């Protein structure tokens, strides 16, 4: 039996939103496997969804640049929101995004080594750290190059999206980029969804059913579960979702009407995958005083 530590229970609580005892029980029953525990909590209704993707706390900006059929997103992180609003920092992120296009950098490591002024981007980041007195980092970039239709969209510098289409026009590509920023679909098409993902969702839906429901004839049970999984497919795919600019139709409908198809979608949001430690000052003082 794997050791069920307090930190493991805490992580499961953060990801599932379930209570402490429910989380501990799920971990014990699944030998410390946090993914299996999440599935178990979802099946029992104690957790509606995995909240791992919501753990976004790092500050910074997503800079967007587009030129001659090439578009990039660059994430530059800062320690505080105050610094990310600094005019020097804002201009720096714009400069780095332009370097990402002009240098032809294919990834973030190549971007850091590219020239910005009389130094490299990485040296410029270190200089910014010394000037403002806070740690900064060029963390990620995404790049799309196409001969087709290309659009980029920035939502307040916190979310950036690139969309390339075959057919259609820039207005449609921009609209879909806005949709992706708002809805954050996990997949573009149903064919992009891994078989194991669907099997997992099917098992979860079955697990939610009562014994009475499970006792129904196999063909009826299959229809019920298939209907639920098809709904999940629509919710999780870009083309299956109601189009945010016209909710009477789906994104697939909007594309079909324009004779277009999605070639590439890239989306970055500030701090994705980074869990920021929030210090509890009162608790820290209590600990140091030996009162906690």
DSSP 203-236: HHHHHHS-HHHHTS-HHHHHHHHHHHHHHHHHHH
Record the pTM.
Answer: 0.72
* Residues 117, 149 within the same domain: yes
DSSP 77-91: EES-HHHHT-HHHHH
Cβ proximity of 100 and 113 under 8 Å? no
CA 179-183-184 angle, 5° bins = 105
Question: What is the C-alpha to C-alpha distance for residues 45 and 59, in angstroms, rounded to an integer?
Answer: 33
* Residues 103, 137 within the same domain: yes
* Residues 64, 47 within the same domain: no
* Residues 63, 151 within the same domain: yes
Tell me what pLDDT residue 17 has. Answer: 74
In angstroms, what CA-CA distances link 11 with 17, 37, 47, 75, 288?
10, 11, 13, 26, 25
* Residues 70, 145 within the same domain: yes
* CATH code at position 26: 1.10.8.10
Q: Digits of tens for pLDDT over the chain (292 positions)?
A: 678 898 888 888 878 878 788 888 999 999 999 999 988 888 887 765 555 434 333 699 999 999 999 999 999 998 888 888 889 999 999 999 999 999 999 999 999 999 998 899 999 998 888 888 788 899 999 999 999 999 999 999 999 999 999 999 999 999 999 999 999 999 999 999 999 988 888 888 888 888 888 888 888 888 888 888 889 999 999 999 999 999 999 999 999 999 999 999 999 999 887 755 544 545 544 554 555 5
Chain Cα centroid distance, residue 55: 10
- Rounded to 10 degrees, the C-alpha dihedral 234/240/244/246 comes to -120
Tell me what pLDDT residue 45 has. Answer: 76
Domain range spanning residue 36? 1-55
Tell me what pLDDT residue 285 has. Answer: 47
| The total number of structural domains that make up the chain | 2
Which of 28, 55, 82 terminates a domain? The answer is: 55
Cβ-based neighbour number of residue 199 at 10 Å? 11
């Amino acid at each position: 039996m794997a050791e069920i530590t307090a930190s493991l229970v805490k992580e499961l609580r953060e990801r599932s939103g379930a209570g402490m005892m429910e989380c501990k029980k799920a971990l014990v029953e699944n030998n410390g496997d946090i993914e299996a525990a999440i599935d178990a909590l979802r099946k029992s209704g104690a957790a509606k969804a995995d909240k791992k993707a919501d753990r976004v706390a790092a500050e910074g900006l997503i800079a967007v640049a587009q030129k001659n059929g090439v578009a990039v997103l660059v994430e530059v992180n800062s320690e505080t929101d105050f610094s990310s609003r600094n005019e020097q920092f804002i201009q720096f992120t714009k400069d780095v995004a332009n370097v990402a296009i002009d240098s032809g950098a294919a990834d973030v490591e190549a971007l850091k080594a590219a020239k910005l002024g009389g130094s490299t981007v990485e040296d410029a980041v270190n200089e910014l750290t010394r000037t403002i007195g806070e740690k900064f980092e060029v963390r990620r970039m995404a790049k799309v190059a196409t001969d087709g239709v290309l659009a980029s969209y920035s939502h307040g510098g916190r979310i950036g999206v690139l969309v390339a289409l075959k057919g259609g026009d820039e207005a449609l590509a921009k609209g879909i980029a806005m949709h992706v920023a708002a809805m954050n679909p996990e997949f573009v098409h149903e064919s992009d969804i891994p078989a194991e993902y669907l099997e997992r969702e099917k098992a979860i839906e079955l697990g939610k059913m009562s014994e009475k429901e499970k006792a129904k004839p196999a063909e009826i049970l299959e229809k019920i579960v298939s209907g639920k999984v098809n709904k999940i497919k629509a919710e999780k795919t870009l083309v299956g979702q109601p189009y945010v600019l016209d909710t009477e139709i789906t994104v697939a409908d909007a594309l079909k009407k324009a004779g277009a198809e999605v070639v590439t979608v890239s989306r970055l949001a500030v701090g994705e995958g980074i869990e920021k430690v929030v210090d509890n000052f009162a608790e820290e003082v209590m600990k140091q005083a030996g009162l906690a």
